[in-house]
Amino acid sequence: MSKLVTIFGGSGFVGRYIAQQLAMKGWRVRVAVRRPNEALFVRPYGAVGQVEPVFCNIRDDASVEAVTRGADAVVNCVGTFDRKGKNNFGAVQAEGAARVARIAAAMDVASLVHISALGVDRDEASEYARTKRAGEEGILAAFPSAMILRPSVIFGPEDGFFNRFAGMSRMGPIFPLIGGDTQFQPVYVMDVAAAAVMGVEGKASGIYELGGPEAKSLRGWVDVILAEVLREKPVLNAPMFVGKLMAWGFDLLETLTFGLAKNGLITRDQVKQLQTDNVVQDGAKTLADLGINPTAAEGVIDSYLWRYRPSGQYDAIRDSAKNLRT
């Protein structure tokens, strides 16, 4: 019988690519999510019955035990940007991650892979980073042979980085930016998934920092995005204190409206994160140590950012038509 892997958060941006790659390798895949009915799209990743979404609440021991039982490997992709509520930073990224590792160890699961974030060991200010770091500590305490992946911002068709800034390019005469000098090293989601698969298969363990082949400032990446979506506009790199004031105001509005006006722009915690470069450190184990050649962002983003161009796909058609002979 083929081996079974449980992927917590397996219907999310990164989890779905890990599920796809493992299904292609013949694994049975159990996708553990809060809303299985919204994760039915994962079923076609494999043969009938090979990939199945199941309910799980990562905050509950019995729930985690139920979806871990019988698994040969476990992958934890669960993360959150919610500071409040039941599924807050601490409950999900610290306590939830440690719970998965503790239960996986108790059930003699052979391998565990955890998706963390780059820079959590250097960022002392943000609560997001502190809880991510606490999650790593809890995992290694319970499951010392675990593989922990620390990716920089991850790019791919469903990403929240290039898509977000490309969407912003359509608004207003200028492009406002906070933290424009902060360095980022985007990594391709398929490369992250390939690294995770190696951990699942028991071919690697330990902590790996994952970044793409090139690091640029946030301003530099915005310039790449603007060129890709064929939009020219001045970029206003606001001082960090302006970002702090804006984030404070947006957070306050969310609090006063009891979460009805949710802050989806920038939070105070995100401003703190922007004060730490998001790049791979010298001496860290990387994709190269796994035999994976990192994919350049510029070679991929044109395949999904075209929809943010003034005329969408027709811009490329129009450029192509210019080459036709009259």
How confident is the model over 267-281, as pLDDT tens digits? 888 888 888 899 999
Query: How confident is the model over 211-240, as pLDDT tens digits?
Result: 999 999 999 999 999 999 999 999 998 888
Average pLDDT over residues 251-267: 80
What pLDDT sits at residue 237? 87
Integer Cα distance of 201 and 199 in angstroms: 5
Query: How confident is the model over 15-68, as pLDDT tens digits?
Result: 999 999 999 999 999 999 999 999 999 999 999 999 999 999 999 999 999 999
Q: Residue 94 belongs to a domain with what CATH number?
A: 3.40.50.720
User: Does residue 136 surpass a pLDDT of 80?
Assistant: yes
Q: Any residues with CB less than 8 A from the CB of 34 and at least 6 apart, and which?
A: 55, 56, 57
In a domain, 98, yes or no: yes
Looking at the structure of the chain, the number of domains it has is 1
In a domain, 132, yes or no: yes
In a domain, 238, yes or no: no
In a domain, 129, yes or no: yes
What pLDDT sits at residue 229? 95
CB 188, CB 155: distance < 8 Å = yes
Amino acid at 249: G
Integer Cα distance of 94 and 279 in angstroms: 23
Residue 208 phi, psi dihedral angles, 5° rounding: -125, 135
Full residue range of the structural domain in which residue 76 is found: 4-156+185-212+278-292
In a domain, 320, yes or no: no
Integer Cα distance of 223 and 25 in angstroms: 39
What pLDDT sits at residue 259? 76
Average pLDDT over residues 70-87: 92
User: Does residue 326 surpass a pLDDT of 60?
Assistant: no
What pLDDT sits at residue 325? 61
CA separation, residue 167 to residues 212, 278, 306, 311 (Å): 23, 22, 11, 14
In a domain, 8, yes or no: yes
CB 56, CB 32: distance < 8 Å = yes
User: Does residue 293 surpass a pLDDT of 90?
Assistant: yes
User: Does residue 252 surpass a pLDDT of 70?
Assistant: yes
For residue 133, give the H/E element and its range: helix 127-142
In a domain, 123, yes or no: yes
In a domain, 130, yes or no: yes
Beta bridge partners of 54: 32
Question: Which DSSP symbol is given to 141?
Answer: H
Query: How much is the mean pLDDT over the chain?
Result: 93
DSSP 19-53: HHHHHHTT-EEEEEES-GGG-GGGGGGSSTTTEEE
Percent of the chain with pLDDT over 90: 76
What pLDDT sits at residue 186? 98
